[in-house]
Amino acid sequence: MKMRPPVLVVLAFIGFATAFWGCASNPRDEPADLPSECGDETGDCGVDRDVDPADTEAEPFDPAALQYPFCPVDESEIDRIYDRMTPRQRIGQHLSMHIVRKGERVDPEYEAKMRSCLPGAVSVAQVTGVAPDSPQATGRFLHHAQSIAAEISGVPLFISSDQEGGVYTSVNHVTGGTDSIGPTAIGATRDEWVAFNQFDMMGREVKAVGINMNFGPLLDTHYQRDNGNLNTRTFGPDMELNTRLGVAAISGFRHNLVLPMAKHFPGDGMTRGNPHHEFVINTATKEELERNLLGPFRAAILAGCDAVMMMPAQFTALDDQRAAITSRAVITGFLRGEIGFAGLVVSDDLSMYGARLGLSKDQSQGVEALKAGTDILLTGGEEIETTVTLIEEELRTGGITETEFAASTRRILRYKQKYCLLDKPTYPDEADIATLSARIGTPQDARMSATHAERAVVMLKNDGILPLVQKRVLCIGPFAFLPDPASGWSWVLEESFCSVMKRLDPSVEAQDYLVGGGESLAATFVEEQRSTADVVVVATFQSYFSSEQKALLDAVLDSSGLPVVHVAQGVPFDALQTRQRAAAVLALQGSLPVMLEAGVRVLFGQTIAGGEMLYDLAD
């Protein structure tokens, strides 16, 4: 699921970020060492926080050897909770709505919607929910949300976010946490321990602020370059490797009592297009789906993954009428019946274009998903009241059977108990918030992530121009406000690639450009400054999908008269344009500052690029 903040909100945040970080001596400074929440030696899930992850990464990864501090499920307690709930409260357990923060509380408009619709789950995004540079504000905001739930239903909320890794995160250094390197960068290391330690860190940090469910990790296998939806959100194009890394990532969340969600079942990556904006149809046979997509999901389920998110795309071998997200054949017949999954089935965002595939105009995506066997519906706040009314009518008329609905409601309650939500229903309380600094944004995690980043950088070409020591360097690259030409989403980063270069070597002459509009200014900068330089570094972000960035690369390669070093921040497919023409090419496959700095350190010869390119870039 993706719920990005509105562009105007993001642009307003740019002003805030410029003012805030502009006054800081160094936004990447590490905080002082602090004791852990659970004593001097262990973290909140029995992990020895004094052990360097690099020490454990030398051992074979075994998810069965980890501690998963689940709470026991008491069926009599589930019965007691279910029996005291009203019909509207039971319906609410199946609904998730997006909420927005105002200060340290739920925005009054969203609080009113919660009190009207009684949702059992909510989701939050960066900036509008997870507060910039204030885990304490985020914790109090989510405590308030849980306090509302205690009043309206007496059952704690599942609180979710998109913590997929890399730029696809709500909790990172911007919001007081630690930058993760991202799934595709993890794939470049081919290391299950890197996957586990990255997702364990993310799990601990989101749990610390009150997020207890995650829309991820992605277990899709990314074959199709022109997909536009996956980009650097997956571990890559190797299904067997994705299976191992996916199980490790899921283990990291479960280890911290954050309920992970394997997505997007039955799997994205074989098709072009983006179901956020268009109908996507996969015509592969069932055997081809098994051979190319289903392996990671089957392995995750066997390893104990407790939730699966459905994809709003059609898989004709499983259902030639509807998208998987509303298909009873896919959810109840295949996922539950054939594969044997007994956990929670969660829809992707039901407002996505692809969710309507196969439905008539008078059919509700939410109702049809529920009829198909979905437990939790991700619906926008503006649609939730209508969904409640429609579900009430379907229950009254028998369109949704009472037996299946009751079993689904109990299943939701059961997983809330398993993940210990019932033990501390308004978590985080003030006592928890007081210890946040020990569990989020720690120097140890920053060092670990930086080490993993260096292991993930891929050197695709170096004709001898590197390292850039004692060379006069021009750098042009994307601005820290980062629109994505592949997906249409946008992010605000703390630093750009060129600003990191200039921070590490003040002699670098740097110029950022706005992706999709500022490339010509960057080309002019190179033209004007080329006589003062020995080499030009060009960073791109998803230029494979951007005609403006492709034109910029051509202009610099053809006209600058300088050796060109190309750094692909996002998808490695950007390098298809430059591998034969540039003097050196690096693939970062991640754009948070932790990856940018690792790339810069490689360029300056301060470290070695340790990653392996998993994609075929031969043509």
Nearest to 2 by CA among 354, 346, 487, 386: 487
Q: What is the pLDDT of residues 580-610, one digit of tens each?
A: 999 999 999 999 999 999 999 999 999 999 9
Q: Where are the alpha helices (DSSP H) in 505-613?
A: 519-529, 547-559, 593-603
8 by Cβ neighbours in 10 Å (0-12 / 13-18 / 19+) ranks as exposed
Cβ contacts of 274 within 8 Å, gap of 6 or more:
227, 228, 229, 280, 487
Nearest to 281 by CA among 315, 243, 256: 315
Mean pLDDT to the nearest integer, 276-292: 97
Q: How confident is the model at residue 56 (pLDDT cuts 50, 70, 90)?
A: low
| Contact call for residues 543 and 577 (beta carbons, < 8 A) | yes
Residue 450 lies in a domain: no
Residues 424 and 563 in one domain: no
CATH number at residue 132: 3.20.20.300
Q: How many residues appear in the chain?
A: 619
Residues 195 and 131 in one domain: yes
Residues 159 and 227 in one domain: yes
Q: What angle do CA 117, 10, 347 make, to 5 degrees?
A: 40
Mean pLDDT to the nearest integer, 3-10: 39
Average pLDDT taken over every residue of the chain = 91
Q: What is the pLDDT of residues 242-278, one digit of tens each?
A: 999 999 999 999 999 999 999 999 999 999 989 999 9
Residues 208 and 322 in one domain: yes
Residues 488 and 403 in one domain: no
Mean pLDDT to the nearest integer, 574-581: 97
Cis peptide before 312 (omega within 30 of 0): no
611 phi-psi bin (left φ>0, alpha ψ -120 to 50, beta other): beta
Q: What is the pLDDT of residues 370-386, one digit of tens each?
A: 999 999 999 865 589 99
Mean pLDDT to the nearest integer, 221-237: 96
Q: How confident is the model at residue 48 (pLDDT cuts 50, 70, 90)?
A: very low
Mean pLDDT to the nearest integer, 417-427: 98
Residue 610 lies in a domain: no
Nearest to 497 by CA among 583, 567, 562: 567
User: Quick one: pLDDT at residue 110?
Assistant: 96
Q: What is the pLDDT of residues 151-173, one digit of tens each?
A: 999 999 999 999 999 999 999 99
Mean pLDDT to the nearest integer, 573-584: 98
User: Quick one: pLDDT at residue 21?
Assistant: 41
- Token pair 């540039």 is found at 582
Neighbours of 247 (CB within 10 A): 24
Nearest to 266 by CA among 250, 236, 244, 290: 290
Residue 618 lies in a domain: no
Residues 126 and 245 in one domain: yes
Residue 449 lies in a domain: no
Per-residue pLDDT at 20 exceeds 50: no
Rounded Cα distance between 8 and 612, Å, is 38
Final residue belonging to a domain, choices 376, 405, 438: 438
**Alpha-carbon torsion, ordered 23, 27, 29, 33, to 10 deg:** 100
User: Quick one: pLDDT at residue 50?
Assistant: 42
Per-residue pLDDT at 51 exceeds 90: no
Q: What is the pLDDT of residues 546-557, one digit of tens each?
A: 999 999 999 999
CATH number at residue 464: 3.40.50.1700
Parent domain of 557? 457-603
Residues 401 and 506 in one domain: no
The strand pair at 490-492 and 281-282 is best described as: unpaired
Mean pLDDT to the nearest integer, 348-362: 95
What pTM did the predictor assign? 0.92
Residues 472 and 546 in one domain: yes
Rounded Cα distance between 131 and 404, Å, is 39
Per-residue pLDDT at 41 exceeds 60: no
Cα 186 to Cα 98, 243, 597, distances in angstroms: 29, 13, 16
Per-residue pLDDT at 54 exceeds 90: no
Mean pLDDT to the nearest integer, 324-341: 98
Q: What is the pLDDT of residues 522-544, one digit of tens each?
A: 999 999 999 999 999 999 999 99
Residues 149 and 39 in one domain: yes
Phi, psi torsion values for 373, nearest 5 degrees:
120, 10
The strand pair at 458-462 and 101-102 is best described as: unpaired
Residues 273 and 320 in one domain: yes
Q: How many domains does the chain have?
A: 2
| pLDDT more than 70, % of the chain | 90
3-state helix, strand, coil in the chain (%, to 5): 45, 15, 45
Residue 408 lies in a domain: yes
Structural tokens at position 332: 């109840």
Residue 451 lies in a domain: no
Residue 447 lies in a domain: no
| pLDDT more than 90, % of the chain | 88
Residues 416 and 508 in one domain: no
User: Quick one: pLDDT at residue 44?
Assistant: 47
User: Quick one: pLDDT at residue 379?
Assistant: 87
Residue 615 lies in a domain: no
- Containing 445, the helix (H) or strand (E) segment is helix 443-456
Per-residue pLDDT at 15 exceeds 50: no
Mean pLDDT to the nearest integer, 433-461: 97
Q: What is the pLDDT of residues 79-128, one digit of tens each?
A: 999 999 999 999 999 999 999 999 999 999 999 999 999 999 999 998 89
Residues 17 and 51 in one domain: yes
Neighbours of 91 (CB within 10 A): 24
